[in-house]
């Protein structure tokens, strides 16, 4: 189960129907969700649990970026990025753990962090602070969730190319970021997804509270 952010336009009814048809209506349920609104988060999880008989794996993928130096950054820019990227992960993780604890059948939460939570980049103070917060949230939640058999981990990609990134990033910055990668290219989304699948699977059964870097950036 994934979560959606308010920053991205909600999929149309036709897009949701096409997705359901592609993967099979019995397996896919789509619901637009603003992760800054707890009622919408609750509704998303209720739909997933009803459709699939409970929760097994929750992937928190909602995030919002932007570029602004601190001297030019407004309170609204700071708060919005923190509320979607960190606050949204908190809200989704909270309801996920409540439901998984009640189920008593274990489960996994995987959060999407970023290498920028460790490394500095100009104009990214709000996003870096949010992603570092996701890492800290992951560690603390993991200790608590272990009491009822749930694992909580995170992935930290560097640069993965997708249409939404292209919309909000200049070609010059993308070229610069790509040049920093050891392989001289950006990651494909499936290369990040494979690590998420690993963390969601039994192959990582003794891992919790960890943030796994999915990056080819030079040290």
Active site residues: 127
Q: How far apart are CA 49 and CA 133, in angstroms?
A: 27
Distances 181 to 148, 171, 219 between C-alpha atoms, Å: 39, 16, 10
- For residue 29, which of 2, 10, 57 has the smallest C-alpha distance? 2
Q: How far apart are CA 28 and CA 22, in angstroms?
A: 9
Residue 93 contacts residue 78 (beta carbons within 8 Å): no
Distances 159 to 7, 20, 98, 114, 179 between C-alpha atoms, Å: 19, 29, 33, 9, 11
Q: How far apart are CA 91 and CA 45, in angstroms?
A: 11
**57-60 and 150-157: which strand pairing?**
unpaired
């Amino acid at each position: 189960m994934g979560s959606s952010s308010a920053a991205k336009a909600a999929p149309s009814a036709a897009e949701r129907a096409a997705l359901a048809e592609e993967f099979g209506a019995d397996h896919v349920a789509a619901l637009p969700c603003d992760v800054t609104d707890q009622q919408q988060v609750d509704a998303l999880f209720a739909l997933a649990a009803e459709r699939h008989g409970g929760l097994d794996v929750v992937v928190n993928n909602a995030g919002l970026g932007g570029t602004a130096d601190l001297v030019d950054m407004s309170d609204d820019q700071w708060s919005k990025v923190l509320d979607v990227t960190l606050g949204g992960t908190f809200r989704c993780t909270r309801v996920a753990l409540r439901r998984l604890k009640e189920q008593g059948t274990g489960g996994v939460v995987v959060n999407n962090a970023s290498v920028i939570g460790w490394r500095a980049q100009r104009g990214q103070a709000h996003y870096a602070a949010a992603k570092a917060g996701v890492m800290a949230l992951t560690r603390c939640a993991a200790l608590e969730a272990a009491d009822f058999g749930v694992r909580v981990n995170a992935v930290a990609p560097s640069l993965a190319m997708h249409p939404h990134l292209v919309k909000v990033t200049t070609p010059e910055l993308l070229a610069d970021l790509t040049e920093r990668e050891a392989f001289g290219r950006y990651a494909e989304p499936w290369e990040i997804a494979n690590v998420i699948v690993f963390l969601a699977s039994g192959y990582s059964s003794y891992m919790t509270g960890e943030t796994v870097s999915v990056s080819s950036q030079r040290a």
